[in-house]
Amino acid sequence: MASLLRIHALATNTFREAIRNKLLYTLLGFSFLMIASGVLLATLSYVEVDEILQDMGMSAIRFFSAGIATFVGIGLIHNEVDRRTIFTILSKPVSRTEFLLGKWAGLTFTVWLQLALMGIAFAIVSALAGAPLVSDHFLAIALIGLELMVLVAIATLFSAFTSPMLAALFTIGLWMIGHLTRDLHALAQQSDLESVGLVGSWVFQLLPDFEVFNKTLEAVHGLPIERGEVGLAVAYAIGYTGCTLLLGSMIFSRRDFK
Amino acid sequence: MSSKAFQILAMLGFVFLTGWAHARVPLETRADRGEDFVPAPAAVDAASLGFDALLADYYWLQAVQVAGSQQAVDERVARHLGRLVDVVTTLNPHVGHPYRFAAVWMTHSRAQVLEANRLLERAIAFHPDDWRNHFYLGFNHFYYLGNYPAAADALEAAMDLEGSPGYLPRLVARLKSQTGDIEVAEVFLRQMLAGTDDPQERVKYETGLDEIEIEHKARFLDRARAAYRALTGRDIERVEDLVTGPHRVIEQLPDPEPEAIPAPLRRGSVWQIEDDRIVSSYLGARYEVHYSHYGGQEGALFGEETNRPEASAPEDDVREHAEGEGA
């Protein structure tokens, strides 16, 4: 219980720190602009206007929220080390694992908050343009929230042992790979060599599969989002986040700050 | 050489290099130069990073701009549009209209029609309840490939779907009885016209309907000609013989141009006899069931699996109708 309170305190502090980051507001501003610009883009087509508007909005939400998660997340621990505040924190009865979890929870809450703001902007633009809005749109946005939770965990992992620049490269790289793993897996399964298929399966299990959380196409085109798939996505997000944070904690515990 | 002089010389060198290179960079894009670059659908799909729908929209808007910027969609442009729609529907197979958009334009060769049919079959796989995709597939089989059984099968699949027109069973019956003629083509074209708001598509279908209207009139004159022969024992020398002299068989010649053409756009066309057939100089050829201005082939444009029977001779029509329509 005491541990949870310490994590909560660290998360609150991280949230306060994150919302003072000007980069967050810049990306948020651009996302609003992109969501609204869907109205203009949609007018270029004489059919599928609502779909184009909402595709644009959903893509802007996914792209900018991933950007915020990555670029705000990678500096979390480095800033503490750089300003030497980490020594003050760790000199108190706070474990390194609690510190890492607090950082992750604070940033996850921050990106969820900005995701909610983007979702509201999306809903307002859709409503003003007369595009249909159903519960599946919000379910798709909630699934983006799960993707961000995993992405923040990955950013936290890399920021635990490397520089912000490298952490950004690794996190962006994994985010991109995370959207390609299904194709890579399918490609490996087509090989005549059994070993290639086997390695492909292992890599597929090891690397994140962010397409699990991508239900924007279904939401925009009014296709049903299976609730069972949503449940599995939640389980996958919790599992992958747990593994990543555990690994991050193990590495961070051995890190020498001298 | 002093370091300052070297810097100035280097600066001049770079300025010259930049200016030289920039002056040679083509200002037009590859598409502007007619290269019509469209990446492979599978490559775009793999590189989309989950933004499939957004990229599909991008390529769809490109297709709309390409079609909208043309005076007439020729074979090259139609091929380009087909590739764009293939990318769009690979990235997002749940789109609706792009499949039919491709089918409308990809009509310049047998290969294009078959490609359009492949896209329509993908549309049917993802929208099995939308009768329009079946209808467009049937239209392609009938109008361009002359494959009546395939056309009948496609329309039969559309018959029971919600929103399908009530005349489809009759159309299927006609196709199954191998009696596809201009009436069938007319029904198809009217439905295609009713189903589109695109100005260029409308022009295409209206042109087809205009040709059918003139063919109806030409067939009327064929029947009058047969009646003239029956009455006088000889053939007409000029089309005007049908309305002049002691053996005239009709009151007046029908308008050789479509009724809908406004007066300022009329060309002063006339009826004439060419290769022993009565034709309007407005078209210069008879409508031969399918889209005649693609070279005027009889029967299917690109068909090789045609099951269409031999076209009935105009004289046969006359025997059926000569007594009824002014002859």
- Rounded to 5 degrees, φ, ψ at B238 are -130, 160
Average pLDDT, chain A: 91
Task: Compute the nearest-CA separation of A148 from chain B (Å).
Answer: 14
pLDDT band at B202 (very low <50, low <70, confident <90, very high): confident
Interface of B with A in 50-79 (CB under 8 A): 50-54, 56-57, 60-61, 64-65
Instruction: State residue B262's pLDDT score.
Output: 85
B305 pLDDT more than 70: no
Task: Compute the nearest-CA separation of A64 from chain B (Å).
Answer: 13
* Neighbouring residues of B194: CB distance < 8 A, sequence distance ≥ 6: none
B301 pLDDT more than 70: no
Instruction: State residue B29's pLDDT score.
Output: 64
Contact B98 A210 (CB under 8 A): no
Q: Which two tokens stand for residue A164?
A: 């912000």
* Neighbouring residues of A212: CB distance < 8 A, sequence distance ≥ 6: A232, A233, A236, A237
Which of A55, A62, A211 is nearest residue B57 as measured by Cβ atoms? Answer: A55
Instruction: State residue A21's pLDDT score.
Output: 84
Query: Which of helix, strand or coil describes residue B49?
Result: coil
Residues of A whose CB is below 8 A from B61: 41, 44-45, 52
Contact between residue A236 and residue A145 where contact means Cβ atoms under 8 Å apart: no
pLDDT band at B296 (very low <50, low <70, confident <90, very high): very low
Average pLDDT estimate for B182-186: 80
Cα dihedral: B15, B18, B19, B20 (round 10)? 120
Q: Which two tokens stand for residue B298?
A: 């009889």
Instruction: State residue A258's pLDDT score.
Output: 63
Distance CA B155, CA B161 (A): 10
Instruction: State residue B317's pLDDT score.
Output: 36
Q: Does A180 reach chain B within 8 Å, measured CB to CB? A: yes
- Residues A116-135: pLDDT tens digits? 999 999 999 999 999 999 99
Judged by average pLDDT, the poorest of B13-17, B141-145, B265-269, B295-299 is B295-299
pLDDT band at B314 (very low <50, low <70, confident <90, very high): very low
Q: Does B173 reach chain A within 8 Å, measured CB to CB? A: no
Instruction: State residue B98's pLDDT score.
Output: 93
Which residue numbers in chain A have pLDDT < 50?
Answer: none
- Residues B241-274: pLDDT tens digits? 999 888 889 989 999 999 888 888 888 899 999 8
Judged by average pLDDT, the poorest of A9-18, B28-37, B94-103, B312-321 is B312-321
Selected residue with higher pLDDT from A223 and B315? A223
pLDDT band at B295 (very low <50, low <70, confident <90, very high): very low
CA separation (Å) from A212 to A151, A203, A237?
A: 13, 16, 9
- Residues B96-146: pLDDT tens digits? 999 999 998 898 889 999 999 999 999 999 999 999 999 999 999 988 888
CB atoms near residue B260 (< 10 Å):
10
Q: H or E segment at B29?
A: none
Average pLDDT, chain B: 81
Q: Does B95 reach chain A within 8 Å, measured CB to CB? A: yes
Contact between residue B67 and residue B73 where contact means Cβ atoms under 8 Å apart: yes
Q: Which two tokens stand for residue A88?
A: 């003050």
Contact between residue B269 and residue B282 where contact means Cβ atoms under 8 Å apart: yes
Instruction: State residue A237's pLDDT score.
Output: 95
Q: Which of B45, B48, B54 to mutate to test the interface with A (most CBs of A within 10 A)?
A: B54
Q: What ipTM did this prediction achieve?
A: 0.82
Instruction: State residue B140's pLDDT score.
Output: 92
Q: Does A182 reach chain B within 8 Å, measured CB to CB? A: no
Over pLDDT 90: what percentage of chain B?
36
Average pLDDT estimate for B48-60: 91
Instruction: State residue A94's pLDDT score.
Output: 84
Contact A55 B56 (CB under 8 A): yes
- Residues A127-157: pLDDT tens digits? 999 999 999 999 999 999 999 999 999 999 9
Residues of A whose CB is below 8 A from B98: 48
Distance CA A115, CA A68 (A): 10
Instruction: State residue A191's pLDDT score.
Output: 86
B56 pLDDT more than 90: yes
Over pLDDT 70: what percentage of chain B?
84
